[in-house]
Amino acid sequence: MPSKKARRTISSSGSNGDVPSAFSFCARRPGVERTAFSLKQSPCPHCGCIGSLNRHSRALGNDLQAADGETFRGQRVYCSNRGQRGGCGRTFALFLADILPRHTLTASLVWPWLVKLLAGLSLKAAAEKLRLPFTLETVYRVRRRLRHGLDQLRSRLCREQPPPASAHADPLLQTVEHLRAVFPDSECPPAAFQLRFQRPFLG
């Protein structure tokens, strides 16, 4: 366990308004709807300490499919530096792997759309075919974000394995193929990406 000499205190640890300084992702445990996190075995993304994490406020977001309009997206987590806990006293946002932080679209909505693009559909046709509950503007924005973060995505994927041979000239589509090759057994490779690398798929 790392010893932290420089202890930090966050005076606003009780408020909801603090800005996430790091993201972290976790899988939803099967059969558990709302509180899905086991924090005991999870390391703090700031200091790497295990066993110091405490639940904080919940992170809720808009859910277009839920009747009450809200969905459980994740949790603010506090890395306790009190008593014997040995943490760093900082907080971070822990998201379910399907959640794309700062975006309303989820990984499981984005993935089928990317697969359709790979199959040769236009962005608009793919969004319409899947009846994505978003404006075309949103979908264009997502594609822009993806293109913008492509280098980051690719360098992480390349750590796992080199890109497969591709018939596509578009770097975005090449990366989607690469993503699928790295996570061949995953139903939702963007979520698998977030779990594996602990980084947002959409920057």
Residues near Zn ion, by CB under 5 A: 44, 46-47, 49, 79, 87-88
Burial grade of 117 (CB within 10 A; 0-12, 13-18, 19 or more)? buried
- Residue closer to Zn ion (CB basis): 44 or 117: 44
- Residue closer to Zn ion (CB basis): 44 or 118: 44
Residues forming a β-bridge with 96: 26
Reduced to 3 states (helix: H, G, I; strand: E, B; else coil), residue 96 is strand
CA 115 to chain CA mean position, Å: 19
Query: Half-sphere exposure of residue 162, counting CA atoms within 13 Å on the CB side?
Result: 2
Least distance CB 24 / Zn ion (angstroms): 11
- Residue closer to Zn ion (CB basis): 46 or 103: 46
- Residue closer to Zn ion (CB basis): 20 or 61: 20
Least distance CB 49 / Zn ion (angstroms): 5
Least distance CB 83 / Zn ion (angstroms): 14
Distance from the first to the final alpha carbon of the chain: 31
- Residue closer to Zn ion (CB basis): 87 or 190: 87
What phi and psi values does residue 96 have, to the nearest 5 degrees? -65, 145
CB neighbourhood size of 121 (10 A): 16
Least distance CB 158 / Zn ion (angstroms): 29
Least distance CB 1 / Zn ion (angstroms): 11
Alpha-carbon gap, residue 140 to 173, rounded angstroms = 15
Q: Which contiguous run of DSSP H or E holds residue 55?
A: strand 53-62
- Residue closer to Zn ion (CB basis): 46 or 76: 46
Least distance CB 52 / Zn ion (angstroms): 6
